[in-house]
Structures are given as structure tokens and as C-alpha cells.
Structure 1
Amino acid sequence: MELIFIRHGQGEHTLAIPNSLQVKNPSLTALGISQAKLLRKKFTLTDEDIIFISPLKRTLETALIWSSHVDCRKLVSPLVSPRIFPFRQNGKTLPCDKIINLETIKKDYPNLEFDKNVPPDLWSGSINTMPNSDFNNIAQQFVANLKLLKKDKIFIVSHDGTITAYRQLISGRSLSRRDFPDETGWFQISVD
């Protein structure tokens, strides 16, 4: 199975760092919207595809723009929400990285599915500041559950730190922030 991790398009929180990191639930910028549309040329989706999406506005917007007019499965999961990378013991979740609560997503995005294999506390706590050992356990279970879907490929729209954390876990290679993907950058990883 191939996992194709895609970083969201440019978000408003990146326009005036560090102050813009305090923006809650930032949307895509005009450039981010264009980047999401360009994903249609990189990855042509079919109705048979599955996309897992981080529960933040910029990732939801990226996935929905990219997949518009395609009736593929779109599942929201905090298992691919923002992750501080590399992990810092006393790291704090910035306002721009706080996930949208489940009830709000259900109301605002009624056509999306929700990952049923998620511990309920992750909808309020997320994986952002979770210790590496806990993240690795949850991430390994997530990948095992993806294998049960019996698909040749699965798309995941997520964040730079999260993508790099999963890449490091799956590949067994030590990675750094230099390995972060650009906006709508992607990595394909094979899992057996």
C-alpha cells in the first residue's frame, strides 16, 4: 500500500510570523486556494479513492478544493492533526494548530466522514504535544487500520511536522525540519 501525504496549501497563519501563528483556525490564502486546485493535476482522484484529513480549516479546505466534483471518501481524523516536530517536552499548541471540535466539524462539513478508530480524547487533545512513545503507538495503530482498508493507495492531507513524524516512524530514518514538505508538497511512502 502507498500512503501519499500531502501538506495543506498556504494558510493565513504563515503570512506574518510570529504574530500570525496566534490566529485561530486560519483559512487558506488566495495562493493556498490556487495550490489546492493544482493538486488536481498532480493527483487525479476517482470515486474509489480515500482521503484522510486533519481537522483544521486549512487542511479541510485543501482537501475539499482538490476533491471537488469527485465522490471519493473523505475522512476527518485527529490522527493526522498538527504535530510538533521534532517533539519538545514542554511544547505548547499554538492557536493556529488547535483542532476544530467534532461537533463544529459535523455542523460545518456535513458531507465528511469521521475516523471511527480514534480515541475520543484525541478530538480535544490531538497529537501535537503527545510524547513520542505515545505518538508512535497511536501512529502504528493508524497505519495498521489503513492496511485493513485494502487499498493500493490512501491520501492524507496534513501538516509539515505530522508528515515528517509519520515518515520518520515508517522509514526508520532520522529526519529533521529540513525534511518538511513545502505547501502542497507531498511524500509517497510504501507500507507492507
Structure 2
Amino acid sequence: MEFIFIRHGQGEHTLKVPDSLHTHDPSLTQTGMNQVEALQSQLSITERDLVVISPVRRTLETAHILTKGVDCRTIVSPLVSPRMFPQKPEWKTLPCDKMLHKKVVKVDFPDFSIDDVLSEDLWATGINTMTEEEFRIIAESFLSWCKSQRDERIYIVSHDGTINSYREIMVGEKLRREDFLTDAGWMKLSY
């Protein structure tokens, strides 16, 4: 099965780091929107594909641009929400990485389906500060679910730390922050 991991385009929260990391619910910048529009022409998302999206505004906006005019399945899931990389038990979720509530997603992005099978606790906390052991269990379950969907390709629109965390599990090797995808970067993995 082919997985295509996509990092969201440039977000408002990256413009004046570290202060901008405390921005609540940051959107894509105009540069970010332009990056994603350019990326759309590189990818060939079809109606036979599944797009799984983090419940954060900048990833939802990225997926909205990428799937414009394509009648594919789109599912918003906290299983691909922001994740610290590497994990630091003393760190807390930054305001820029707080997930949107399901009701907000339904109103602002009505064309996307919501993963309602998952617990309300997971929707409230996400995967950002989970221990490595907890994340591995959830990640392996998510990857198995992806395989069971039988879609031609699965696109995952997410965040740099989340993508690296899944990549480590899928390829079985340690990664570093230097391995992060850039804004609107993407990579293909067979799994």
C-alpha cells in the first residue's frame, strides 16, 4: 500500500518563532496557500484515494486546497494530529497545536468526514504528548486500519513531528528533527 505524507503549508504560527507558537488556531499564510496550490499540481489525488487529515486549521486548509474538485474520501482524525518530536515528557501542547473541536470542523469544513469511532478523550488530547509506547500501539492500529480500507493511495495531511513519528514505525529506523519535511513537503512510503 502506498502512503503519501504531506506536511501542511506555511502557517501563521511559524512567522515569528518562538512567540508565534502561542497563536491559537493559526491558518495558512498566503505563502502557505501558494505552496499547497503548487503541490496540488505535483500530486494526482483521485476518487480512488483516501485523505486523512489532522483536526488543525492549517492541515484542514491544506487538504481543502489539495482535494478541490476531487471526489475522494476525506476523514479528519486525531490519530494524525500534532505530535512532539522527539518526545519531551516535561513539554506541554502549544496553543498553535491544539486541535479543533469536531463541531468546529463540521461547520468550517463540511465536506470532510469526522472519525467518530474514536473516543472523546482522544479527540480532546490527541497524540501530542503520548508516551512512545502508547503512540506505537495507536499508530500500529491506525496503520492496520489504513490497510483495511483498500484505497489505492492514502494521503496523510499532518505535521512534521507526527510524520516523523509514523515514519519511524513504518521504516524501523530512528529519525531526527533534521529529517522533518519542509512546509508543503511530501514523501511516499510503501508499507
Q: CA deviation at 1:117?
A: 4.2
**Structure-2 separation of matches of 1:166 and 1:117:** 21
**Structure-2 separation of matches of 1:82 and 1:44:** 25
Residue 50, structure 1, aligned to residue 37, structure 2 = no
Aligned to 1:114: 114
SS in 1 for 2:145: helix
Aligned to 2:160: 160
Q: CA deviation at 1:120?
A: 2.5
Alignment TM-score, normalising by the size of structure 1: 0.96
Aligned to 1:89: 89
Aligned residues: 191
SS in 1 for 2:173: coil
**Structure-2 separation of matches of 1:122 and 1:95:** 17
Per-residue CA deviations over 1:140-188 (Å, capped at 9, x if unaligned) read 0000000101123100000000000000011110111011000111121
Question: What is the CA RMSD across the aligned residues, in angstroms?
Answer: 1.0
Higher mean displacement: 109-118 or 93-102: 109-118
| 2:74 partner letter | K
**Structure-2 separation of matches of 1:116 and 1:56:** 16
Aligned to 1:73: 73
Aligned to 1:172: 172
Per-residue CA deviations over 1:18-56 (Å, capped at 9, x if unaligned) read 110010010000100001111221102212221000000
Alignment TM-score, normalising by the size of structure 2: 0.97
List gaps (5 residues or longer) in structure 2. Answer: none
Q: CA deviation at 1:64?
A: 0.3
Aligned to 1:99: 99
* Sequence identity percentage: 48
Distance change >3 Å, CA 45–CA 168, structure 1 → 2: same
List gaps (5 residues or longer) in structure 1. Answer: none
